[in-house]
């Protein structure tokens, strides 16, 4: 498992009616983006494309938990 969730990681989430556009980046460099969708069972799934050395890799995005007091969920990255 590749875990990119850390204090250094800045998370940005833009809500839409049925999905999120999620961008993961360090302070000066984007590391990836993806689409997050809510499944019928209430879980969240997504693919994220990381950008490293000009290569785009696909990951599945799993949600650890969502704090209802905050607009953004908290995620961990699981390598596909």
CA-based R_g, the chain, Å? 12
The pLDDT assigned to 73 comes to 47
The two structure tokens encoding residue 33: 């983006």
Query: Domains in the chain: how many in total?
Result: 1
Give pTM, 2 decimals.
0.34
> What's the CA angle centered on 42, arms 38 and 43, to 5 degrees?
70
- In the chain, where do the E strands start and end? 10-15, 19-26, 29-38, 44-52, 55-65, 74-79
Residue 1 located in a structural domain: no
* Stretch 41-47: mean pLDDT: 65
- The residues near 5 (Cβ < 8 Å, ≥ 6 apart) are 64, 74, 75, 76, 77
Domain encompassing residue 28: 7-79
List the CATH number of the domain containing 71.
Answer: 3.10.450
* Stretch 6-35: mean pLDDT: 49
Residue 2 located in a structural domain: no
């Amino acid at each position: 498992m590749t875990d990119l969730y850390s204090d250094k990681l800045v998370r940005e989430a833009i809500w839409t009616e049925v999905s999120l556009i999620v961008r993961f980046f360090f302070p000066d460099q984007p590391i990836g983006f993806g689409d997050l969708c809510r499944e019928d069972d209430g879980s969240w799934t997504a693919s994220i494309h990381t950008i490293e050395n000009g290569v785009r890799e696909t990951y599945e995005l799993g949600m650890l938990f969502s704090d209802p007091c905050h607009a953004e969920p908290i995620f961990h990255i699981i390598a596909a």
